[in-house]
Structure 1
Amino acid sequence: MKKQTPSDRNFDSLIHKFEKRVYNTVKGEWRLKLVKEDLDHLYQQSKLNVWDAGCGFAQVSQWLAEAGHQVTLCDLSQKMLHQAEKSFSEADLQAEFLHGAAQDLAPELPDFDLVLFHAVLEWLATPLETLKTVADKVKPGGTLSLLFYNRNAFVYNNVLKGEWRWQYILDDAYIGKGKNLTPPNPQFPHDVISALQGWGFDIQMQTGIRVFHDYLTPQVLEKSDQDELFALEYQYCRMPTYRDMGRYIHLVAQKL
């Protein structure tokens, strides 16, 4: 039997699950809050040329467009892209929308002041190779905003759950096979940071998204104060050690 070549994940069939379980949740709101805070110094600048490479529902790029920045968006999922177009239209905002994978579109695109690559890396067949193609579109002096699913958190969370999972972790045979909303290729922060530095980027900011929340049991969450939990999240999310344990990692990197 011919071995199937791995491919990037298309979310056309899962768009409603994403909307319900990722975007329209307290967890999703917290992620958006921290990413916007990390990018606020860019938001405040005069008109930037922005590429949202794998835009999803495009909340961050819409926020930037509202500030007057020029935005180009793309997504492999036609349904995700359509939802982003609809949101921009309802907000009376202009942007360029391109259907396709970021790495396929990149050769035809100009360089950008700011490239957003959010929650895409972990779904790719060749994560770092594709990241290099996308990162190459950042202008010298420009910025890459990279959000990705953290392999540290994936390992730690599954070790805490125990039972049959330990052997999979020992064998480096990850449980997530890309089905539903479990990414097949979570990345170690140190590997991603090392790659970016090798490509001429300076890491200006690192934030861990949900450094405690996703390790807590439903019973603990039910009995605990949510405001206190997110106050703890905020206190530790950019502190070394804790930031490396967030469910997602957000890096702000400037191209030298």
Structure 2
Amino acid sequence: MSDPSPLSPAGDRHFDGLADKFAGSLYGGPRGALRLALLDRLLPEMLALDGQPVLDVGGGLGQLSAWFAHRGHDVTLLEPARDMLERARFELEGLSVRYVEAPLQELPTRADGPWPLIACHAVLEWMSDPRAALEMLAGRLACGGQLSLMVFNRDALRFSNVVKGNLQKALDDRLEGTGKRQRLTPISPLSHEQVVGWSRECGLSLQAVAGVRVFHDYLRQPPTSEVDWQRLVALEQRYCRSEPHWRLGRYLLYTFVAGDGHVPIKEPAR
């Protein structure tokens, strides 16, 4: 008897049973630590935060929900994988977080809004129809509401494959994963042009963009000392919002606003 498919009926990749893997090898390692350190720097720069309620879509183990809750926001964490949600509930005990076990497609019935702030990080690349998912998110925003969107960067994935010597794969543009193996290659990696084009069609206005891990994933060897680690973090922070470096971030982080509204965005620190 074969193992059940990790794909949902809609063709999306969910992560049931992988809470330990995410907590250990991903967020417990340098890649996850660097991602969280950069978000800690970037989110206050890229969002107008005043304690408003937050919807965290596909919030997984709850790191992002915890970040907002610790800063005075009431958070609703939406996540389809039960073990992820239970781990988040345990880790975030005592914080102002409500937990909803549901996929993104159930937003209209489970967490419709309108929301002044929605965060959706590292989710769209695991959807079979990321364009429809973005439209769903846009429809849940209040007028002038903000969307913090982070996606897996297709261009960075191509560059990484070339660096590793996978030349024919890059030439054929065979970059998508199947979603059926333990290796976590996204099924729908997205380009900047796709995200910007779709967001415009959905009535969203681009306010800011940054690259997350613009250097780390291309290193021949990871830092071997705390001094070198801090130097790497400093480089990532310095160039994550600068041309041309942000374009090759492993993830692209965006702030969008619903309608023609504008929120004050801090200039990148130099």
TM-score, length-normalised on structure 1?
A: 0.88
Gaps of 5+ in 2: 1-6, 260-270
- Asked if the contact 2:18–2:84 (Cα under 8 Å) also holds between the matched residues in 1, the reply is no
Q: What letter corresponds to residue 121 of structure 2 in structure 1?
A: H
SS of 2:198's partner is helix
Aligned-residue offset at 1:17: 1.3
Matched with 2:99 is: 97
Provide the C-alpha distance between the structure 1 equivalents of 2:159 and 2:107, rounded to a whole number of angstroms. 36
Aligned-residue offset at 1:234: 1.5
Matched with 1:16 is: 20
Matched with 1:247 is: 250
Aligned-residue offset at 1:253: 1.2
Aligned CA distance change for structure 1 residues 36 and 137 (closer, same or farther; 3 Å): farther
Deviations 1:118-153, CA, capped at 9 Å, x for gaps: 111111111111121122111111100011111111
Q: What letter corresponds to residue 100 of structure 1 in structure 2?
A: A
Matched with 2:173 is: 172
Provide the C-alpha distance between the structure 2 equivalents of 1:243 and 1:43, rounded to a whole number of angstroms. 18
Aligned-residue offset at 1:247: 0.5
Q: Which of 45, 52, 59 is matched with 2:56 structurally?
A: 52
Matched with 2:210 is: 207
- The answer to whether residue 149 in structure 2 is matched with residue 146 in structure 1 is yes
Matched with 1:232 is: 235
- The answer to whether residue 190 in structure 2 is matched with residue 184 in structure 1 is no
- Please list, as runs of the form range in 1=range in 2, the aligned pairs for 1:100-119 lying within 5 A after superposition: 100-108=102-110, 109-119=112-122
Provide the C-alpha distance between the structure 2 equivalents of 1:135 and 1:26, rounded to a whole number of angstroms. 32
SS of 1:143's partner is strand
Aligned-residue offset at 1:231: 1.7
Provide the C-alpha distance between the structure 1 equivalents of 2:193 and 2:48, rounded to a whole number of angstroms. 30
Provide the C-alpha distance between the structure 2 equivalents of 1:250 and 1:24, rounded to a whole number of angstroms. 21
Bigger drift between 30-39 and 49-58 goes to: 30-39
Gaps of 5+ in 1: none
State the percentage of identical aligned residues.
35
CA RMSD after TM alignment = 2.2
Q: Which of 129, 133, 145 is matched with 1:130 structurally?
A: 133
Q: What letter corresponds to residue 145 of structure 1 in structure 2?
A: S
Deviations 1:205-254, CA, capped at 9 Å, x for gaps: 21111111101113x64499222222221111101221010011111111
Aligned CA distance change for structure 1 residues 242 and 46 (closer, same or farther; 3 Å): closer
Matched with 1:88 is: 92
- Asked if the contact 2:46–2:208 (Cα under 8 Å) also holds between the matched residues in 1, the reply is no
- Asked if the contact 1:118–1:146 (Cα under 8 Å) also holds between the matched residues in 2, the reply is yes
Bigger drift between 98-107 and 138-147 goes to: 98-107
- Asked if the contact 1:43–1:67 (Cα under 8 Å) also holds between the matched residues in 2, the reply is no
Aligned CA distance change for structure 1 residues 93 and 151 (closer, same or farther; 3 Å): same
Provide the C-alpha distance between the structure 1 equivalents of 2:92 and 2:10, rounded to a whole number of angstroms. 33
Q: What letter corresponds to residue 225 of structure 1 in structure 2?
A: D
TM-score, length-normalised on structure 2?
A: 0.84
- Asked if the contact 1:145–1:251 (Cα under 8 Å) also holds between the matched residues in 2, the reply is yes
Provide the C-alpha distance between the structure 2 equivalents of 1:41 and 1:245, rounded to a whole number of angstroms. 20
Provide the C-alpha distance between the structure 2 equivalents of 1:62 and 1:42, rounded to a whole number of angstroms. 18
- Please list, as runs of the form range in 1=range in 2, the aligned pairs for 1:41-80 lying within 5 A after superposition: 45-80=49-84
- Asked if the contact 2:176–2:186 (Cα under 8 Å) also holds between the matched residues in 1, the reply is no
Provide the C-alpha distance between the structure 1 equivalents of 2:172 and 2:16, rounded to a whole number of angstroms. 32
Count of equivalent residues: 248
Provide the C-alpha distance between the structure 2 equivalents of 1:88 and 1:222, rounded to a whole number of angstroms. 32
- The answer to whether residue 30 in structure 2 is matched with residue 26 in structure 1 is yes
